[in-house]
Structure 1
Amino acid sequence: MSPAAAPRVSVRLPGHRQMALGLARQRLAIGILVFIAFTGLLGFRLIELSLFDGPVQRARPAVANPNIRAEIVDRNGVTLASSFEAYALAARPRDIMGNKEALIAALIRILPERPPEAIRSAIYHDGKFRYITRRILPEQAEAIRRLGEPGLTLEREAERLYPHVGLAAHLVGYTGIDGRGEGGIERAFEQRLTDPAQLEKPLALALDVRVQQALESELKAQMDLQQASGAAGVVMDVHSGEVLALASLPAFDSNRPGGLVGMPSHMNRATLGVYELGSTFKAFTIAMAMDTGVLPRMDERFPTTPIAVGRQRISDSHPKGYPLTVPETLIYSSNVATAKMAERMGRQRQEAFLRQLGMMDRAPGELLETGRPLTPAPNNWGLASVLTIGFGHGIAVTPLHLATAYSALVNGGIYRPATFLKVPEGAERPGRRVFQESTSHALNGMLRLAVLDGTGRQADADGYRVGGKTGTAEKVLEHGRGYDKRRNITTFAGAFPMDNPRYVVIAMVDDPTVGSRMAGSVAGPVFKKVVNRIAPVLGVAPDTSGASEPDIRMFEGLYKPRDPKRDPNAMRRAAAGLPPLEGGVR
């Protein structure tokens, strides 16, 4: 037999079986490790995608969906803010597969309102995710979808729409990019507006869009005419405290509020800005003095010759040259006579009344943008402060403070804080008595006379029996010491109808620069035009006969009517077919 044909003999070396088993175990261990590593990488990637490749997540209190919000409506159900379904377009630059320049050109055609550079920046962004634009139309979204670019993402999200654009912008507010309220009612009622249980129930405001539009348009017209830096106004129901309109100019578009912080249009001048509102405070001083008993008689006369207090000199802008009665003090707006009344009252009683009128606290109401009044420091509230506060200097408040206090002054003496929410019909809000009813009645007559015969003549809206007081105050210098004699805050605070006051209207124009800079000719006409426009809407009928004029017989002989035929008592007698009273006045 040849060696080649010899059979093969398998030789098993010692330990061979153990080596084979060890090799198998090693391969199995490597396989398990590879599987674990792959699973771990996959999990890590999923976490990374959820945390970093989607829209930026902000640490916020958990809510169902901050972009879904309840509607905001006015007192008559007119929509002021609502949510709607929109699309947001985002780019994932690393996932773009096509030609970027061609993609940019296509997006520019589809989104003509978007700046081309903003689109280019998003497409070439170094990160993993970048919004190109929010709130695009459904047809634009469909055109983008047809591009078939996997590096573009279309997301459905709820957006906030303000159909009246900038109307009542400071009151209604706006939402930020994350859908949360950033101002006004939107911010103040964030929890209510995003509560899933109340999404179907609109939040009803006290505001009336018809009154709001009238107030804003008349303030804007006067602000432009006077080339003023700003304006503000309030319309309030004197019995419920409901704010039917609140304006702050310049305003902004609530749909596009970007870049507001630090801009003049951002600040709510009606609730946040504080101003020295001048002679509008004289009505309060007279009412305080009457209630405290330091003015026992209406016929008491006060000298009008200038007085010196320390380094200050108090004088009248238009001195009459003779002592004035109590009603004449308000009608002719005497600083000196009012200061004398404040001196009799003293600091403690003055401060107590101001506190009762809310003048020592932040502006009332539900908004969070509220200003704190500026008053003298407790250790510096001396005689000079008492006198100047008496005629509206040395104390700075918001127009909303003034509206709420005037409501208490004319409604019979009851203070009710302002509210921006609609008060249910028949409900009565609690209040506190600040003035006696007889004092309120007397001030209503004086305020009517101030319009008929005093500094407020340009505010008289024929037939609507308006009353009110002008206020012209020099602006405080920017460094905070002293006053700028070239710059004024002009205000008119009034109510109508004075035979039974229902509404207070405040009109303020900040820093008029054209023509007269006095409140009577700047803010007074705004008040008149606003009343003429809103009175019919609010159901206040005009009366040119004089039969509805307030009864001011208590002032007979205490003032001299500019036109005897315009004297309210004479008008009432004529309307009733009675002969005029014999004798004159004063």
Structure 2
Amino acid sequence: MIRTPLRPLARILKAREQGQNPDAIEAENKRLRHEDDRDRSRLQAESRLLVMGVAFFCAFLVIGARMGMLAGSVPEEPTAQASGSPIIGQRADIVDRNGRVLATNLDTHSLYAQIPDMIDPAKAARELAAIFPELEEDELLEDFTGSRRFLWVRREISPEQMQAVHDIGDPGLLFGPREMRLYPNGSVAAHILGGATYGREGVNSAEVIGVAGVEKFFDDALRDPSRGGAPLELSLDLTVQAASERVLHGGMMLMQAKGASSVLMDVHTGEIISMVSLPDFDPNDRPRVLTAADNATDQSDSPLFNRAVQGVYELGSVFKIFTVAQAIELGLINAGTMIDTQGPLQWGRFRIRDFHDYGAQLSATDVIVKSSNIGTARIAMMIGGERQRDFLGQLGLLEETQVEMVEAPTGDPLLPPNWSEISTMTISYGHGLSSSPVHLAAAYSSLLNGGTRVEPTLLRQDGPQNGPRIVSEQVSAVSRDMLRAVVTEGTASFGDVEGYEVGGKTGTADKPRPTGGYYDDRTIATFASVFPADDPRYVLIVTLDEPSVEALGEQRRTAGWTAVPVAAEMTRRVAPLLGMRPDVETATPTGVTLTSN
């Protein structure tokens, strides 16, 4: 900016020539300069005030809008943001098909020690040992007085224990919030649920992860925040599961069995309504895996072992219906075809015998009803090994099941290394091939539901699976008639339940020795049943491990004396729970005749 001089030389000289005062010129120029500075400062101040006014208006407008949004929103607790991978402490519930809770979460607290902040370690150790009897006072004192700075005392404590620790009054004993996995029904469905434990842990949260069963199989889904906490709905019915466990436990005790399992499956949807393995455990206090220190020769001795899924056994004569059904489907025989049952049947150094002498011939139906090994083996020879293997594969008996449990792959069937002719003969009546009760339930469902393949599942389904066809509807109906005859006329006479028209097949197989060969006094007894036989809805498999009961003055180990009555009682108990009314004919009065006058 060019400023005007206060005493311009030209004006000063001119004023002197005219006799005027040159100082007046300077005074006038100062006045004009001051007025110019004043006007410029006022304009600048007014501009700043305008900018500040606009800024304040915008600020108040934003604050007002934000306050309005907060007033109209749902209040939420603030969450701290931190870098790194967060610990996801939330886990969805697991419910049965009717929405009843099988597994849920319970808010609790953990107890930990910040050792540098402790005032009286000796008193704290003494008081903690009194509150928690499983803790040793000497060990706690050693930890509290050593070089450690942090110590987990208990991962979970009750409110009463929390108050007792609080009363100790030591500032080094602190509590952290966390969720624990709770199974409100105790041991009911223990093998299916599996159990959970803690993964990554922090003082303010802990990661709950599945360790077995559906808890581990669906671990990612149960911990997925995007599901919004939606529960995992299983196909199980809690009341049916509890009733099945009670009946099977009573039967196992009565039959003096080492273990037992049962599977109840919907023949059309493949839904597992109940699945029991005994002995069992409480997933709230899951036992540890057996080790060499426990002198355990077999993990199947552990209550953690799921006999229904992991237990692969030679299931015996329950396989015979597959052989006869395939032969009828292939057109080789029909239900009335007479089969040579003259025995023993010799193949090389092997001899196949029947439990009783059934004479020279039996019809195909009677081969099933009387459970003839020789008759079944001769039918298998008509079929041939290649076709037999293909048919059993279609039924799902040669591969692991797809049931939603991490244990399923460990229940892979045991097949003969060489599917020879003798293997074809023995497999036809359930020896030489080992599979699990879940395999058997799926195979029976596929054969008897009209002849279409179903896969076992623990998830609730909206309708039938409508899998590939295995046998015709006619062959399926003939198979059901044969199994009904086994109950009414054959080896499963104790299996009849009035009003439910049960059909089924018994199977008794000698247990193999670990060193080879078979035990003479140890068996696996199985009863595979379907009800109602005329319009099947459910398949029930009951298996007893090493049963033995005294009846009619003898020790009985066969399925007809052991597994069958247990399965009958289970059907009697659970069928009403499934909404099935017994079909019982109404008695009509006798000896009274209505006449008219």
Deviations 1:223-270 (A, max 9, x none): 122322211110000000000001111101100113135561111111
1:117-266 to 2 correspondences below 5 Å: 117=136, 120-125=138-143, 126=146, 127-178=148-199, 179-261=208-290, 262=299, 264-266=302-304
Alignment match of 1:77 (pick from 99, 121, 130): 99
Report if aligned partners of 1:274, 1:374 keep a CA contact under 8 Å in 2: yes
Question: Does structure 1 residue 449 correspond to structure 2 residue 485?
Answer: yes
Unpaired segments ≥5 residues, structure 1: 1-61, 548-573, 575-586
The structure-2 alpha-carbon separation of the partners of 1:199 and 1:488, relative to structure 1 and needing over 3 Å to count, comes to farther
Q: Distance in 2 between matches of 1:517 and 1:63?
A: 58
Report if aligned partners of 2:341, 2:372 keep a CA contact under 8 Å in 1: no
The structure-2 alpha-carbon separation of the partners of 1:284 and 1:97, relative to structure 1 and needing over 3 Å to count, comes to same
Q: CA deviation at 1:123?
A: 4.1
Partner of residue 524, structure 1:
564
Report if aligned partners of 1:90, 1:152 keep a CA contact under 8 Å in 2: yes
Question: Does structure 1 residue 494 correspond to structure 2 residue 529?
Answer: yes
Report if aligned partners of 1:306, 1:313 keep a CA contact under 8 Å in 2: yes
The structure-2 alpha-carbon separation of the partners of 1:430 and 1:386, relative to structure 1 and needing over 3 Å to count, comes to same
Secondary structure class of the residue paired with 1:294: coil
Partner of residue 12, structure 2:
none
Q: CA deviation at 1:150?
A: 2.8
Deviations 1:312-363 (A, max 9, x none): 1101112222410011000000000000000110011000001101111102
Partner of residue 293, structure 1:
331
Partner of residue 53, structure 2:
none
Q: Distance in 1 between matches of 2:228 and 2:407?
A: 25
Q: Distance in 2 between matches of 1:245 and 1:223?
A: 17
Q: CA deviation at 1:95?
A: 4.3
Partner of residue 45, structure 1:
none
Q: CA deviation at 1:93?
A: 4.3
Partner of residue 302, structure 1:
340
Partner of residue 348, structure 1:
386
Q: Distance in 2 between matches of 1:212 and 1:140?
A: 34
Q: CA deviation at 1:99?
A: 4.4
Q: Give the count of matched residue pairs.
A: 479
Secondary structure class of the residue paired with 1:412: coil
Q: Distance in 1 between matches of 2:342 and 2:193?
A: 46
Structure 1 residue identity aligned to 2:529? G
Partner of residue 408, structure 1:
446
Report if aligned partners of 2:549, 2:562 keep a CA contact under 8 Å in 1: no
Report if aligned partners of 2:450, 2:476 keep a CA contact under 8 Å in 1: yes
Alignment match of 2:420 (pick from 373, 382, 398): 382
Deviations 1:72-104 (A, max 9, x none): 00000110000121111123445432041x323
Report if aligned partners of 2:95, 2:103 keep a CA contact under 8 Å in 1: yes
Report if aligned partners of 1:97, 1:151 keep a CA contact under 8 Å in 2: yes
Structure 2 residue identity aligned to 1:124? E
Deviations 1:428-447 (A, max 9, x none): 42411111110000011110
Q: Distance in 2 between matches of 1:240 and 1:446?
A: 23
Structure 2 residue identity aligned to 1:185? V
Structure 1 residue identity aligned to 2:491? T
Partner of residue 431, structure 1:
467
Structure 2 residue identity aligned to 1:475? K
The structure-2 alpha-carbon separation of the partners of 1:362 and 1:477, relative to structure 1 and needing over 3 Å to count, comes to same
Report if aligned partners of 1:91, 1:151 keep a CA contact under 8 Å in 2: yes
Question: Does structure 1 residue 271 correspond to structure 2 residue 309?
Answer: yes
Q: Distance in 2 between matches of 1:67 and 1:120?
A: 33
Question: Does structure 1 residue 541 correspond to structure 2 residue 581?
Answer: yes
Q: CA deviation at 1:132?
A: 2.2
Q: Distance in 1 between matches of 2:357 and 2:496?
A: 23
Structure 2 residue identity aligned to 1:169? A
Q: CA deviation at 1:195?
A: 0.4
Q: TM-score, normalised by structure 1?
A: 0.79
Report if aligned partners of 1:173, 1:181 keep a CA contact under 8 Å in 2: yes
Report if aligned partners of 2:548, 2:562 keep a CA contact under 8 Å in 1: no
Q: CA deviation at 1:302?
A: 2.5
Secondary structure class of the residue paired with 2:215: helix
The structure-2 alpha-carbon separation of the partners of 1:214 and 1:163, relative to structure 1 and needing over 3 Å to count, comes to same
Alignment match of 1:440 (pick from 476, 484, 491): 476
Structure 2 residue identity aligned to 1:317? F
Q: Distance in 1 between matches of 2:468 and 2:138?
A: 62
Deviations 1:190-244 (A, max 9, x none): 0110001224211100000111112111111121223222111100000000000
Structure 1 residue identity aligned to 2:217? A
Partner of residue 419, structure 1:
457
Deviates more, 1:216-225 or 1:145-154: 145-154
Report if aligned partners of 2:125, 2:140 keep a CA contact under 8 Å in 1: no
Structure 2 residue identity aligned to 1:496? F
Alignment match of 2:496 (pick from 456, 460, 463): 460
Secondary structure class of the residue paired with 2:534: coil
Q: Distance in 2 between matches of 1:514 and 1:177?
A: 44
Deviations 1:462-499 (A, max 9, x none): 221000000000001012x2111111000000010111
Unpaired segments ≥5 residues, structure 2: 1-83, 200-207, 291-298, 551-555, 589-597
Q: Distance in 2 between matches of 1:68 and 1:162?
A: 16
Structure 2 residue identity aligned to 1:81? A
Structure (1 or 2) with the larger CA radius of gyration:
2
Q: CA deviation at 1:153?
A: 2.6
The structure-2 alpha-carbon separation of the partners of 1:65 and 1:81, relative to structure 1 and needing over 3 Å to count, comes to farther
The structure-2 alpha-carbon separation of the partners of 1:301 and 1:292, relative to structure 1 and needing over 3 Å to count, comes to same
Secondary structure class of the residue paired with 2:261: strand
Q: Distance in 2 between matches of 1:540 and 1:403?
A: 20
Report if aligned partners of 1:108, 1:116 keep a CA contact under 8 Å in 2: yes
Q: Distance in 2 between matches of 1:64 and 1:531?
A: 49
The structure-2 alpha-carbon separation of the partners of 1:252 and 1:409, relative to structure 1 and needing over 3 Å to count, comes to same
Structure 2 residue identity aligned to 1:517? R
Partner of residue 321, structure 2:
283
Alignment match of 1:98 (pick from 120, 136, 142): 120
The structure-2 alpha-carbon separation of the partners of 1:328 and 1:186, relative to structure 1 and needing over 3 Å to count, comes to same
